[in-house]
Amino acid sequence: MILQDTIYAVSTAPGKSAISVVRVSGKKAYESVKKISKSMPKKPNHSKLNKIIEKNGDTIDQTITTFYKSPKSYTGEDMVEISFHGGSAVLSKFIGMFEKNKDVRQAKPGEFTRRAFENNKLDLTQVEAVADLVNAETENQRKEAFNQLEGSSSLGLKKIHEKTKNLLAEAEAIIDFSDEDLPKNVYNQILEQIENIITEIDSAVSKNIRSRKIHNGYIVGIIGKTNTGKSSFINKISNQDVSIVTSQPGTTRDVLESYIDIQGLPVRFYDTAGIRRSKSTIENIGISKSKKLAENSDLNLIFIEKKSDLLRFKSYKNKIFVQSKHDIRRTLNKNKDIISISSKTGFGIKNLLKIISKKLIKMSFKEFGHISRERHMRFLSDSKKHLLRAKENKNYDKFCEDIRLALNEISKIYGKTDVEDILEIIFNDFCIGK
C-alpha cells in the first residue's frame, strides 16, 4: 500500500444532518485545502471559521476547518478536517471540485486507521477496537470496544507477549551449555515459565468465550410443553409476529429467532417446538431441535402449565421457570421460583426481562477489556501448541525454535510481524472515512 499520497473522504454518514465532516490526510493535506480556503487555521491543532471557495470566488460553504500537524493527529500524518453544513448538495459540490485536485485521492475503506497503524499510533488490537466501536450497537459492546481501544485488552495480551519474549531470551542464554552442563534448576525454571504462560493463555481464552457473547449476543431458549404460550411470548417481546400462534398444541415446529436489546445487552431469543410425546415425524424433528437448543443456550425460559411440570424439566441447565396466561389463571402462583406473566396483557414481562438480563450479566462478564477476536484466539492457541512442544523437547536447538515460534504467533496479534494478508482482511471491514 502506498502511504505517500494524500487521501480524503467524507467521514460522516450520508443523508441530512447538522454537519458533515471531510477528512484529508497526508503530506499535501494542508496545502490542498488551503488552495480552496479563505482563511485556513495557521497554527497546528487549531480550528478556524473558514470559507471553502470555488475558482471563480463563489463560496461553497462556511466551515469549521481544523488543522492537525503530524504526528499529533489520528493518522499520525498532517490532517485537515472540514466540518460542512450537513446536506448532500454542499458535499457533492465540494467533492466535485476536490476530485479535480491531482494532489489528493479518495480514501479506501479503513485507510485512515490503516495509516494510524502504519505510523504506530495504534496497534492492531486497537485498530480492531476502533472497528468495534464504530459497529457497537449496545452499551456493553461500546464499553468493551472502548476499553480495548484504551489498551486494557492489550494489557492482558501484552503480559503474555512480554513473558514469552523473556522466556525466549532466557532459553537462548542457556543454549550455550552443552546438554550435560546444563544446570538442572535453570532448565526447571524455564519449564516453569512455560507452564505459567500456558496458564495465562488458557485464562485469556476462557475470558474470550464470555466476551464473544457481547459481540454475538446471548442465546436464550424458550422451551416447554406445548400450548404454554411460548410463541405468544416471543411475539410480545419482539413487537411483531415472529412465530405462528394457535390454540392447537404442537403449532411451532421450527426454531425461530428474535434479536432483542435488553438495556444494552444483546440477546437472541429462540422460540421452539413444545416438548411432548408425538407420532408426527416432523414434530419430533422439531422437538429434538428444541432439546439441542436448550443444551447450547446460555439461559432457558422453561414455560410450564402446572406445578408438576417443574419436575419434568428439572435436568435442564440455566433455567428460569415461567408460567404464562396470568390473565386467565384462577389460582395465582405463589412460588417464587416461577415467574408469572401474560403475553395478552403484558403482565410481568418487564420483570421477566429484568431477571433475564440480571442472570446473564451475573453468569458472564464482570470484567471488560478481554480479548474479543477469533484472530487473537487462533494465535494464542497456536502459540500454546508451540509451548507445549517446547516443554517436551529435549533437543535444545529445537526447544528454542519452538519458543521462538510461540513468540512469533503472539506478536502477530499486534501486527508486528509480516502480516500483510491479515491487514487486508481487517482493514477491508472498515467504512470509508475511518
Closer residue to ligand GTP (CB): 170 or 305 = 305
Interface with ligand GTP in residues 272-291 (CB under 6 A): 274
Q: Which residue has the cell 497546528?
A: 44
* Other CB atoms within 10 A of residue 259 CB: 11
Q: Would you count residue 231 as binding Mg ion (CB under 5 A)?
A: yes
- Distance (Å, whole) CA 115 – CA 77: 8
Interface with Mg ion in residues 171-230 (CB under 5 A): 230
- Rounded to a whole number of angstroms, the minimum distance from the CB of residue 342 to ligand GTP is 4
Closer residue to Mg ion (CB): 121 or 230 = 230
Please pick, from the candidates 135, 138, 238, 251, the single residue that binds Mg ion as defined by CB under 5 A: 251
- Rounded to a whole number of angstroms, the minimum distance from the CB of residue 257 to ligand GTP is 15
Interface with ligand GTP in residues 321-360 (CB under 6 A): 324-325, 327-328, 342-344
Part of the chain binding ligand GTP (CB under 6 A), chosen from 85-93, 191-199, 230-238, 404-412: 230-238
Please pick, from the candidates 20, 126, 140, 252, the single residue that binds Mg ion as defined by CB under 5 A: 252
Closer residue to ligand GTP (CB): 253 or 434 = 253
Interface with ligand GTP in residues 66-125 (CB under 6 A): none
Integer distance in angstroms from the first to the last C-alpha of the chain?
17
Closer residue to Mg ion (CB): 276 or 354 = 276
Closer residue to ligand GTP (CB): 123 or 271 = 271
Part of the chain binding ligand GTP (CB under 6 A), chosen from 50-58, 183-191, 226-234, 378-386: 226-234
Q: Would you count residue 226 as binding ligand GTP (CB under 6 A)?
A: yes
Q: Would you count residue 251 as binding ligand GTP (CB under 6 A)?
A: yes
- Rounded to a whole number of angstroms, the minimum distance from the CB of residue 47 to ligand GTP is 58
Closer residue to Mg ion (CB): 164 or 252 = 252
Closer residue to Mg ion (CB): 104 or 222 = 222
Q: Would you count residue 229 as binding ligand GTP (CB under 6 A)?
A: yes
Closest residue to bound ligand GTP by CB: 274
Chain contacts with Mg ion (rule: CB under 5 A): 230-231, 251-252
Q: Note the residues at the interface with ligand GTP (CB under 6 A).
A: 226-232, 245-247, 249-252, 274, 303, 324-325, 327-328, 342-344
